[in-house]
């Protein structure tokens, strides 16, 4: 059973846990592993954002820098040029929160001024020492993700002595840094970072063990959409994963979405919102039914 978390800030409200929250991905990049180049044109990116909202997204996550394995960073100026026109246009047309996916405080600051209402920092405040203060001053929610190393190095033979213990300690430290900067605990979301310094086995264990992060007392986001571990599992050949655009990959992503929800995830970050929303509604109903049955048994006993 998931704990329910309520976030209210600015003109936005999220209730996380009563039902699964869907975060729709809009990558304004030429080189993201899945949809790189498809939405680099600003008008196309805005149209994609509007489509995801119409399909039932609860949050839009806008990113201007690829974080695929072995990717190189881009400049602040390049990232801003990619995301700001998209955020400004979408903020005028949608009522749901827009998240800026960035590790740079300067990008977060400008994106929030343009209409973004959340920050998704995959470095968990490690990349830019000004990020925590920037988020605290803006009074917006913050997503903290675990990553082993950097996008350039994270998939070079990732190894853990204690997978859950090390990730929990990492996230707890990041939450403490955020709190020390003035970000309230009730505006933090945690992400174990599937694919960011993990093997296929690590990723599967993390999906099954979502509830093991309950001790951190924060909503859990799972970002798995079209990632290499799904493509490798489906191809059966670790060295030859399927293409992200293979229809089977969308089906595999949906299976992982359902498993993550059943395991206790509060938010699911995906490229394909409509099928995920449908699967989440059914899965949420099953979880609610399980909760009712459990309550009935407790009442009878």
| pLDDT one-digit tens code per residue, 83-116 | 999 999 999 999 999 999 999 999 999 999 999 9
* Domain contains 5: no
**Whether 227 is catalytic:** yes
Write down the catalytic residue from 82, 232, 269, 277.
269
**Confidence grade of residue 70 (pLDDT, cut at 50, 70, 90):** low
Residue 166 domain flag: yes
The active-site residue, picked from 19, 227, 231, 232, is 227
Burial of 14 (0-12, 13-18, 19+ CB in 10 A): buried
Domain presence at residue 10: no
Instruction: Look at residue 3 and tell me if it is in a domain.
Output: no
What is d(CA 35, CA 209) in angstroms, rounded to the nearest whole number? 29
Domain-embedded: residue 126:
yes
Tell me how far CA of residue 215 lies from CA of 56, 150, 172, 196, 262, in angstroms: 30, 26, 10, 22, 18
Mean pLDDT (whole number) for 189-217: 96
Q: Does the active-site annotation cover 269?
A: yes
pLDDT tens for residues 44-56?
999 999 999 999 9
Task: Evaluate whether residue 60 is within a structural domain.
Answer: yes
4 located within any domain: no
Residue 36: domain span: 18-300
Domain count, the chain: 1
Q: Is residue 26 a part of any domain in this protein?
A: yes
User: What pLDDT score does 294 carry?
Assistant: 52
pLDDT tens digits along 250-265: 999 999 999 999 999 9
pLDDT, residue 41, reads 81
Supply the pLDDT for residue 154.
66
Report the sign of the C-alpha dihedral through residues 157, 158, 161, 163, in that order: negative
Output the domain CATH number for residue 44.
Answer: 3.20.20.20
């Amino acid at each position: 059973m998931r704990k329910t978390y309520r976030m209210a800030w600015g003109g936005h409200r999220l209730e996380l846990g009563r039902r699964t929250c869907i975060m729709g991905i809009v990558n304004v990049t030429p080189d993201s592993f899945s949809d790189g180049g498809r939405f680099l044109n600003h008008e196309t990116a805005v149209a994609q954002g509007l489509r995801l909202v119409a399909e039932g997204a609860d949050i839009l996550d806008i990113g201007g820098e690829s974080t695929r394995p072995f990717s190189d960073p881009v400049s602040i100026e390049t990232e801003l040029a990619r995301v700001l026109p998209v955020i400004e246009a979408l903020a005028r047309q949608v009522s749901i929160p827009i998240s800026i996916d960035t590790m740079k405080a300067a990008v977060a600051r400008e994106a929030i001024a343009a209409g973004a209402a959340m920050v998704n920092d995959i470095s968990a405040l490690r990349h830019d020492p000004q990020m925590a203060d920037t988020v605290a001053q803006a009074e917006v929610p913050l997503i903290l993700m675990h990553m082993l190393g950097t996008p350039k190095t994270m998939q070079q033979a990732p190894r853990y002595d204690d997978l859950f213990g090390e990730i929990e300690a990492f996230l707890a430290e990041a939450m403490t840094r955020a709190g020390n900067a003035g970000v309230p605990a009730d505006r933090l979301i945690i992400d174990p970072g599937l694919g960011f310094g993990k093997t296929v086995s690590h990723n599967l264990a993390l999906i099954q063990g979502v509830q093991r992060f309950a001790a951190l007392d924060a909503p859990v986001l799972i970002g798995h959409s079209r990632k290499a571990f799904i493509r490798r599992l489906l191809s059966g050949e670790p060295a030859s994963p399927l293409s992200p655009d293979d229809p089977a990959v969308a089906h595999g992503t949906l299976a992982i979405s359902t498993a993550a929800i059943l395991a206790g995830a509060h938010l699911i970050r995906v490229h394909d919102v409509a099928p995920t929303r449908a699967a989440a509604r059914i899965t949420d109903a099953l979880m609610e039914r399980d909760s009712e049955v459990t309550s009935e048994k407790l009442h009878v006993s």
